[in-house]
Every structure is written in C-alpha cells, then in structure tokens.
C-alpha cells in the first residue's frame, strides 16, 4: 500500500515517516511541507492513501482533498483541531487522527484503509457507518465585540478585513469589529466556504461577484489578491467550476 504525507510541521512529517517505516507493507512515496507541491505530486503520482494535515498555509487540507483527481486516494486527516472531525466525515475521509498521534492509533488508521481497499464496494458504507449521528456542522461563530459576544452566521459573512490587531467583519446586516487574529478565525470558518486572498482579506466564496485582473469583487468592493495567495485561490475557484 502506497502513501504520501502532507504536513507543514517538520516534526510531524518526521514522526509520520517513522511510523510508515515501522508498518509492514506500507510504502512512503513522498512527504511534503507545502500543500501545493504535494498536490502537484499527487496529480501525477497516484497513491493509495494520503496522511493530510488540515491546517496548512496557502491551501488547507480540506481544500486540497477537494482538488484531488477522482477517483482519488483514501484520505486520513491529521490535525490538532478536533472541530474539523465532522467535516472530515462529510468528505468521506477514511479516518481522522488527532495530534499528538500515537503509533497504535496510526496503525488502526492504516488497517482501516487496507480493509476499504480490499472491499471497495463496501467502503462507502463503512465510512458512513463510522460517522457520528449527533454532531451537526456549525453554521455560525461568536466573536468578541466591545463587551459582548456577537453571533455571526457564516451565510451572512461577506468578507473580513485585517486592521492591525483587529478584524473588521463585513456582513449582510452590517459591520462587526473584533480584537482577533486571522489565524484563529481561519480555524473556525469552514475552509470549503471561505478563502484567504491577501494578508489583509478573507472572503466568502459564495459572495464573490466576479474576479478580474488580480482582484475579487465582493458586495461591490474590489479586494486585492496577494501574490502569496494567488495560486491557491485560483485552484480553489477552479474546483468550484467557476472558471
């Protein structure tokens, strides 16, 4: 069984590579700390399973999984954030490993993938059976605004602008200023619905009106696409069949 590891943390890459070496019949074909480099490799080199970190710069693991050729490899998400568990099941991930990952848990994930590969017809049912029935994906987040917690529905959020240590959230009902970091907000927002396009801007994909000459228009305002985010944003837009 062949595999690839994608994780922007060198220690996590080394740990999983060591785990792979200890599992008989598991061949590591590549390890990448850059999501786009890993995506390019996977597009030309099919493997059986990808151990995929979710929170990576430029392109999240969830976004990358949506860009893989179909039928693609089995996906085992690896992350330190447990709020992505439900979304991983929505993407039919084979398993979800919460960091720090114990070797025994890693072996369980490998065995689960092997069973799916040996019985592909039953794999879909096996994944569906593993999904918890109770959890429901979040539809909003709460941000601190003055002396209260303000609920912001994901459907209402148009875009976010960074203003030094503050963020200005532009919504269909008005603006909300909060003392928060982009990194923290990106951990909460559904990565398949929102995209960072610039060091100072994050946009809701469903509210993009058009893309032109390195800019995105949302709610009548043209926002710049930064060079660092251009390639990953273009790939995400193509995944939505908008180009």
Give tens-digit pLDDT for 2-15: 999 999 989 899 99
Q: Which of 220, 184, 187, 216 is nearest to 203 (CA)?
A: 216
Whether the pTM exceeds 0.85: the reply is no
Count Cβ atoms within 10 A of the Cβ of residue 59 and give its class: 0-12 exposed, 13-18 middle, 19 or more buried: buried
Q: Domain with 163 in it: what CATH number? A: 2.40.50.1020
pLDDT value of residue 240: 63
Output the six-digit token pair for 61.
Answer: 């693991």
Mean pLDDT of the chain: 84
Range of the domain at 110: 2-130
The position carrying tokens 């430029």 is 58
Give tens-digit pLDDT for 187-223: 778 888 899 999 999 999 999 999 988 999 999 999 9
Q: Is residue 135 part of a domain?
A: no
* Separation between Cα atoms, residue 193 and residue 195, nearest integer Å: 7
116-138 as b/e, with b when 16 or more CB fall inside 10 Å? beeeeeebeeebeeeeeeeeeee
Same structural domain, 72 and 33:
yes
Same structural domain, 92 and 201:
no
């Amino acid at each position: 069984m062949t595999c690839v590891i994608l994780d922007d943390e060198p220690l996590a890459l080394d740990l999983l590579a060591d785990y792979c070496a200890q599992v008989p019949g598991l061949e590591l074909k590549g390890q990448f700390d850059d999501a786009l480099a890993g995506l390019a490799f996977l597009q030309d080199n099919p493997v059986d399973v990808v151990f995929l970190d979710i929170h990576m710069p430029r392109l999240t693991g969830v976004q990358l999984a949506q860009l893989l050729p179909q039928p693609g490899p089995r996906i085992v998400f690896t992350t330190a954030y447990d709020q992505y568990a439900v979304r991983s099941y929505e993407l039919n991930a084979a398993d979800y490993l919460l960091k720090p990952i114990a070797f025994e848990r890693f072996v369980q994930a490998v065995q689960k993938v092997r069973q799916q590969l040996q019985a592909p017809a039953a794999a879909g049912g096996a994944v569906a059976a593993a999904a918890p029935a109770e959890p429901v994906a979040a539809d909003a987040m709460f941000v601190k605004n003055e002396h209260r917690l303000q609920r912001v529905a994901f459907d209402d959020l148009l875009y976010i602008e960074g203003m030094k240590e503050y963020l200005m959230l532009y919504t269909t009902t008005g603006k909300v200023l909060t003392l928060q970091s982009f990194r923290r907000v990106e951990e909460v927002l559904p990565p398949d619905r929102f995209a960072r396009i610039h060091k100072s801007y994050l946009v809701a994909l469903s509210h993009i009106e058009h893309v032109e000459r390195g800019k995105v228009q949302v709610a009548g305002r043209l926002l710049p696409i930064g060079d660092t985010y251009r390639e990953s944003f273009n790939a995400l837009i193509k995944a939505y069949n908008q180009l």
